[in-house]
Amino acid sequence: MTPEGSIVDGPKAWLQRLPSTDRLLQGAAAQVLVRAHGATLVTGEARALLAEARQCVLAGAVPPWLQSSDPLHALGDALAQRCAARLAPQLKRIVNLSGTVIHTNLGRAVLPDVAIEYVSAMMRAPLNLEYDLAAGARGDRDSIVEGLVCELTGAEAATVVNNNAAAVLLVLAALAREREVIVSRGEQVEIGGAFRMPDVMASAGARMVEVGTTNRTHLHDYARSITPATAMLLKVHTSNYAVQGFTSAVTEAELAPLARERGVALVSDLGSGALIDMTRLGLPKEPTPQEMLSAGCDVVTFSGDKLLGGPQAGLIVGRKDLIARIRSFPMKRAMRLSKLPLAALEATLRLYLQPELLTTHLPTLRWLTRAQDDIARTARSLREPLQLALAPRYTVSEAALISQIGSGSLPVETLPSAGLAIAPVQAGKKGTGTALEALTVALRGLPCPIIGRIADDQLLLDCRCLDDANEVLSQLPALQRALA
């Protein structure tokens, strides 16, 4: 019972307690919101709040604030919550304990500090994006990074677009539109979002000619398929899957003499974007643009936000005449990099001029090369506090884990790691699934969501990418409240 009505009084009594929009906006709480956010936003949220309240009452459900002894004050609090929710950003910083370092769903590579600082500085004022300071005339935005890219890869020329899928599409459209492109059947890849090489080929206006079989392709397969209509031999690095067993593939070095003899372009799509020999860091071998160009490729494409460790971008390097054709193709303008990722890419590429410092300054390479003992120490520092927070419903134990280098890139390559395994206490098969789901929901709902992975009826938290244990420890009180 409230001073002015009860639930049994029916909808009419409760509707009479609702203030008008004007009266709500004249309240002290609403006026504070108006000063902070402006009248447009607050008025819109006030109308929506009152409309929802009316619908609830007519449906037989009375909002808690309407049952308050001071509905106008309680309504002001509800309005403040609505405004805060309306203005809350959709993007959130994530604590990545999934065990996948280059995680497509979590934004792939994390930018180095120097890139973040450079982007912030460049975005605060006008900049020479397309202005040649030396000549005092219009410039080309590619010039911001072309020199660096060519120096690092040994290419004659380079251009950049907004991702590697765009790079492949642009190269095909610019060099092979209405002509044939020969590609091995074993390299008809599909990457995330059902992005398939045959579909890309069709979108670019090129005609795909498949050669070989799924597991074996030979040099003579390419040779006998070249016709006067052939524009390109395309090699696609299958970094997101592996065919094992009775296999055969033709390397770029083997294809290069054939391409030159027949007068067709040899293009290699590397995707993963390694700019250094990864084996020197104790990591699995990945082909580099330098190696592909040295092998005789005319054009090479690769990503900026995978092993390169920078922003999302597609880099195209190769022969000067072909890069000029690609750069001048009309589609290029629709795919160009904006000033923000271009600045981030430049700052990231500059780090490669100091290769000895890469594993210190580049987060992706730092995490990929992190020692297992160091990862285990981080896990150990979390185990007891996390156990206290989750008791008595869950047990927490240290565990030797396996990290994945990438989800969309190098998913079959793994690294030994360490972390925590969380299991429900005294739960049957069905109860275990329910308890783990409740825990993952609570972790995702934290101010800085924590993402792990479920395997073998446990929630695994891989600490490879956790630089600061306090990112987890500081959120344990909120986790306890969420699970209460």
Q: How do residues 129-158 score in pLDDT, each as one tens digit?
A: 999 999 999 999 999 999 999 999 999 999
Q: Looking at per-residue confidence, does 414 or 479 come out higher?
A: 479
**With respect to CATH, is domain 95-103+368-483 assigned 3.90.220.20?**
no
Asked whether the predicted pLDDT for residue 245 surpasses 80, the reply is no
Q: Cα(335)–Cα(319) distance, rounded to whole angstroms?
A: 20
Asked whether the predicted pLDDT for residue 324 surpasses 90, the reply is yes
pLDDT band, very low/low/confident/very high, at 238 (cuts 50, 70, 90):
confident
pLDDT score, position 246: 63
pLDDT score, position 11: 80
CA 17 vs CA 28, 60, 220: distances in Å: 18, 15, 84
pLDDT score, position 448: 97
> What would be the CATH architecture of the domain defined by 113-359?
3-Layer(aba) Sandwich (3.40)
Residue 129: which region, alpha, beta or left (left: phi > 0; alpha: psi -120 to 50)?
Answer: alpha
Q: Cα(265)–Cα(206) distance, rounded to whole angstroms?
A: 14
Mean pLDDT in the chain?
A: 92
Q: Cα(57)–Cα(369) distance, rounded to whole angstroms?
A: 59
pLDDT score, position 451: 98
CA 169 vs CA 146, 222, 240, 247, 334: distances in Å: 20, 22, 19, 28, 12
What residue ranges do the domains of the chain occupy?
A: 7-87, 95-103+368-483, 113-359
- Between 64-73, 328-337, 345-354, 398-407, the lowest mean confidence (pLDDT) is in 64-73
pLDDT score, position 278: 95
For residue 45, which amino acid is it? E
Counting residues of the chain whose pLDDT is more than 70, the rounded percentage is 93
Answer for the pair 464, 375: CB distance below 8 angstroms, yes or no.
yes
pLDDT band, very low/low/confident/very high, at 64 (cuts 50, 70, 90):
confident
Asked whether the predicted pLDDT for residue 442 surpasses 90, the reply is yes
Counting residues of the chain whose pLDDT is more than 90, the rounded percentage is 80
pLDDT score, position 190: 66
Q: Cα(83)–Cα(28) distance, rounded to whole angstroms?
A: 15
pLDDT band, very low/low/confident/very high, at 408 (cuts 50, 70, 90):
low
Asked whether the predicted pLDDT for residue 312 surpasses 80, the reply is yes
